[in-house]
Amino acid sequence: MRRIYHLFFILILYQQNAADYIDECNNPDLDKAEIELYSQLFLRLNSIIRSNIELKTELLDVKEELRQIREQTPPSRELVEIEISVIHIHVMDKRCYCSRGLKNNSQGESNGWRKTFYYPGGGNYRGFWLKSQHHRFGVKETKDNLIYDGQWQRGKRHGWGMMRRRLPNGNMVRIYSGQWLDDMKSGEGKQFYDDGDIYYGYWLNNRRHGLGIHWYNNGNIYVGEWQVDVAHGLGVMFYANGNRYEGCFARGFKNGEGTFYHMHRGQIQKGMWQDDVCKASLVQDEFRSTAQKATPYPIPPVRIDFANEFIKKIFGKYYENSRRPAISSEESKCLKFIRKINK
């Protein structure tokens, strides 16, 4: 006689993809031990069906154990969200087959897990749905080869996720890895720019906002405050040549009070800055003895308006006839002859 049993149990719907995602993103919130435990329960249920023993008793034990696991699992671990599906198990002549269906699939709405869904204009999505919207966890690839792999909430990127780009040769290029809020980068995240720059810090509405570190492709490093996607507030700029600036920034430039360390010259320059230009400063020789290449003090050029009069005024007392008018050569010979006679 045909016996039909309607069972409710936990089905691992995205286990392999989720495991690959865990290894790639290195998310500490995911507990692989839970996945292993769910897998063991699935194998146990399968063995029960094959042996055709007392299903009701065993299934009650499985259901109770699953309930205890669900109560012990923290609700914050949404990336390992498991959906309950309805499995129809048909036992006929000691041979089994099963067919599954999504729960709450009413009025044509997609709920739960679905395989790859292809959009008419290009791109695809595979993952969980809620009322025909991406929800909880899924992978979406656009027609421009942008791939988002992470958490969703009612059709928007929300939670933790990674954005990548697929190149024509099949390789993946990282773009952003971090937190999302209402489909925008918000919270802690790491951005990889096309020109080689890297930023790690806080975001707000797709803009760098708060504390962060920016590695520039020219070797400079900025550590400090950001506002509306530019350096704004207190910060430190480490230059590739060894120099360093500590002080205030505004609109991405040095503005306000700050100190510039000329490491190669061994000098410290303290002053006021405006749009990267020092308006007033005091330069101190702090570590010239240990500097790699201390700049020598230059001698300023002497500029005299009336050089001849200046020289006559200084050296006039050393020359007896310096103030007398010049005489001819004949007069000079006569004077020498007269002096010789007088002697």
CATH number assigned to the domain comprising residue 129: 2.20.110.10
Q: Given strand 3-10, what is the order of strands in its sheet?
A: 3-10, 84-92, 95-101
Instruction: For residues 123 and 259, state if they share a domain.
Output: yes
The reply to whether 147 falls in a domain is yes
Instruction: For residues 177 and 326, state if they share a domain.
Output: no
Instruction: For residues 117 and 236, state if they share a domain.
Output: yes
How many domains is the chain built from?
2
What does the pLDDT read at residue 263?
Answer: 82
Instruction: For residues 207 and 129, state if they share a domain.
Output: yes
Three-state SS for 183?
coil
What is the b/e burial string over 85-108, where b = at least 16 CB atoms within 10 angstroms of the residue's CB? bebebeeeeeeeeeeeebeeeeee
| Better pLDDT: 197 or 30 | 197
The reply to whether 317 falls in a domain is yes
* pTM higher than 0.75: no
The pLDDT tens digits of the residues spanning 294-336 come to 555 554 555 555 556 666 666 665 555 555 556 667 777 777 7
What phi-psi label fits residue 228: left (phi over 0), alpha (psi between -120 and 50 degrees) or beta? Answer: left
pLDDT grade for 46, boundaries at 50, 70 and 90 = low
- Give the C-alpha distances (Å, rounded to integers) separating 244 from 72, 235, 236, 261: 52, 11, 7, 5
Integer Cα distance of 218 and 220 in angstroms: 6
What does the pLDDT read at residue 9?
Answer: 33
Q: Which long-range contacts does 13-17 make (Cβ < 8 Å, 24+ apart)?
A: 13/82, 13/83, 13/85, 13/112, 13/113, 13/128, 14/113, 14/127, 14/128, 14/137, 15/39, 17/126, 17/139
Q: Please, which residues have CB within 8 angstroms of residue 126's CB and are 6 or more apart in sequence?
A: 17, 114, 115, 116, 117, 138, 139
Tokens of 228: 């509306």
The reply to whether 331 falls in a domain is yes
Instruction: For residues 241 and 124, state if they share a domain.
Output: yes
The pLDDT tens digits of the residues spanning 72-120 come to 544 433 333 333 333 333 333 333 333 333 444 444 467 778 788 888 8
The reply to whether 122 falls in a domain is yes
User: The domain containing residue 331 runs over which residues?
Assistant: 307-342
Instruction: For residues 133 and 246, state if they share a domain.
Output: yes
Most confident option among 24-33, 59-68, 221-230, 310-319: 221-230
The pLDDT tens digits of the residues spanning 52-77 come to 444 445 445 555 555 554 455 444 33
The reply to whether 83 falls in a domain is no
The reply to whether 101 falls in a domain is no
Instruction: For residues 333 and 260, state if they share a domain.
Output: no
Instruction: For residues 153 and 281, state if they share a domain.
Output: yes
Instruction: Summarize the confidence of residues 204-216 as an average pLDDT.
Output: 95
Three-state secondary structure of 76-144: CCHHHCCCEEEEEEEEECCEEEEEEECCCCCCCCCCEEEEEEECCCCCEEEEEEECCEEEEEEEEECCC
The reply to whether 153 falls in a domain is yes
Tokens of 76: 């914050």
The amino acid occupying position 290 is T
Instruction: For residues 269 and 169, state if they share a domain.
Output: yes
User: How much is the mean pLDDT over the chain?
Assistant: 71
Three-state SS for 311?
helix
Does 43 have pLDDT greater than 80? no
Does 193 have pLDDT greater than 90? yes
Instruction: For residues 215 and 259, state if they share a domain.
Output: yes
Instruction: For residues 134 and 205, state if they share a domain.
Output: yes
What does the pLDDT read at residue 111?
Answer: 77
The pLDDT tens digits of the residues spanning 279-299 come to 888 888 776 655 555 555 554
Instruction: For residues 314 and 196, state if they share a domain.
Output: no
Dihedral pair phi/psi, residue 52, rounded to 5°: 55, 50
The reply to whether 65 falls in a domain is no
